[in-house]
Amino acid sequence: MKRQVDILVLSDIHLGTFGCKARELSRYLSSVDPEMIILNGDIFDIWNFKKSYFPDTHMRVVKQIIRFSERIPVYYITGNHDEALRKYARFSIGNLHLVNHLELEINNEKYWFFHGDIFDASMHYAKWLAKLGGWGYDSLIATNHFVNKILDFLGQPKMSFSKRIKNSVKKAVKYIGDFEQTAAEIAIENNFDYVVCGHIHSPQLREIKCGQKEVKYMNSGDWIENLTSLELRNGNWKLFTYNSEEFAEQEIIDRWSTFLKRVPA
């Protein structure tokens, strides 16, 4: 039985890169029945896209999103890794809408959805450095994946290189804090009750105070490390985190399906 979700928010999937957890995302998408989907940037990773790498699991996610758009509104908000799509913003085909940001009123409250890279100085003043960082991050994830395969074989717990780096480097921690505070301050100045971002791969759902006012800040995280989304159900927002144990049965089915495809007819 699929879970009913009023609004589903996803960001930073990075389809077309080695680190993308498309298989897990596909299982998750098969488990929910949303009334609206908001894709909050970096769905495709055009910066690091390679013609030789776009697996079936990645295409499956694309097909699922398209199928959703046949019956419900799907808003695709552009990010920095898929910024090439920004010149086509305001384009719509059926229920699928391409935008640079999105403003909605939900339950009499004002929402501001945008990816968040507008707060990233490197995007404005040293884009080549940001792209180099994106390539380095993808390489780090690929190496991490290989190491985790070995750890799994040895019966040892997996680790996340990038999470350790983010948690140990003071500048990275400060950057996340500054990003969230800036988003909150601008949202309050523009009289929004909620501000919803992606970009920094740091899932969050909390209230931020600025003087006498406050705003609810939310970040949908990513599908490389955290495997998270935001779900609105019955008027309440929840941060969903993918748990492989909950999808164990579907994982077995997927493995058998992959095996049978490889068996000669």
Residue 52: the pLDDT is 81
Cβ within 8 Å of residue 182, ≥6 positions away: 119
Tell me the CATH number of domain 3-262, given options 3.90.105.10, 3.60.21.10, 3.40.50.720, 3.90.870.30: 3.60.21.10
Residue 102: the pLDDT is 97
Residue of 10, 34, 14 lying closest to 197 (CA atoms)? 10
Residue 211: the pLDDT is 86
Any alpha helices (H) in 86-126, and if so which ranges?
121-125
The domains of the chain are located at 3-262
Residue 170: the pLDDT is 43
Pairing of strands 236-241, 228-233: antiparallel
Residue 65: the pLDDT is 98
Residue 232 CA to residue 238 CA, distance in Å, equals 6
Task: For residue 93, list its beta bridge partners.
Answer: 96
Residue 50: the pLDDT is 78
Residue 262: the pLDDT is 64
Give the tokens for residue 22. 């498309």
For the entire predicted model, the pTM comes to 0.80
The size of the chain, in residues, is 265
Sites in the chain below the pLDDT cut of 50? 121-134, 165, 169-170
